[in-house]
């Protein structure tokens, strides 16, 4: 499903968070637009915040299966295709992303 939704993520093992744009989402994966390249196999803790309050945020651990450079610099310089490895509870959302 095509979406245009902001997200925050943290690379596993890091304390720093960064922003991304979710460009599409399926039951087992998603495509992120990022400002920097991420290596294949990297795990990210991600929080997707929908634009409407009727849809709850999605908090998950994803694994990058490929990352490639984009031709545009409007919203991000790289696209990262990810597989969802684990969906996290709402309590984990608040703990990971204060």
**How many Å apart are CA 73 and CA 86, to the nearest integer?**
30
In this predicted structure, what is the pLDDT of residue 47? Answer: 93
Query: Domains in the chain: how many in total?
Result: 1
Q: Specify if 56 maps to a domain.
A: yes
Q: Specify if 98 maps to a domain.
A: no
Q: Which tokens sit at 2?
A: 């095509």
CATH code, domain carrying 48: 2.40.10.220
What tens digit of pLDDT does each residue of 63-80 get? 999 999 987 656 568 999
What tens digit of pLDDT does each residue of 2-16 get? 888 999 999 999 999
Cα dist. 12→43, 61, 68, 87 in Å?
5, 9, 20, 15
In this predicted structure, what is the pLDDT of residue 73? Answer: 57
Q: What is the mean pLDDT of residues 33-37?
A: 92
Q: Specify if 40 maps to a domain.
A: yes
Q: Specify if 96 maps to a domain.
A: no
**pTM, entire model:** 0.82
Q: Which domain holds residue 11?
A: 2-91
């Amino acid at each position: 499903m095509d979406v245009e939704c902001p997200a925050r993520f943290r690379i596993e093992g890091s304390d720093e968070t960064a922003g991304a744009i979710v460009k599409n989402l399926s039951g087992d994966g998603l495509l992120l637009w990022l400002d920097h390249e991420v290596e294949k196999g990297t795990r990210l803790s991600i929080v997707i915040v929908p634009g409407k309050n009727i849809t709850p945020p999605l908090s998950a651990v994803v694994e990058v299966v490929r990352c490639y450079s984009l031709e545009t610099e409007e919203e991000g310089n790289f696209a990262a295709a990810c597989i969802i490895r684990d969906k996290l509870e709402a309590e984990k959302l608040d703990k990971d992303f204060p």
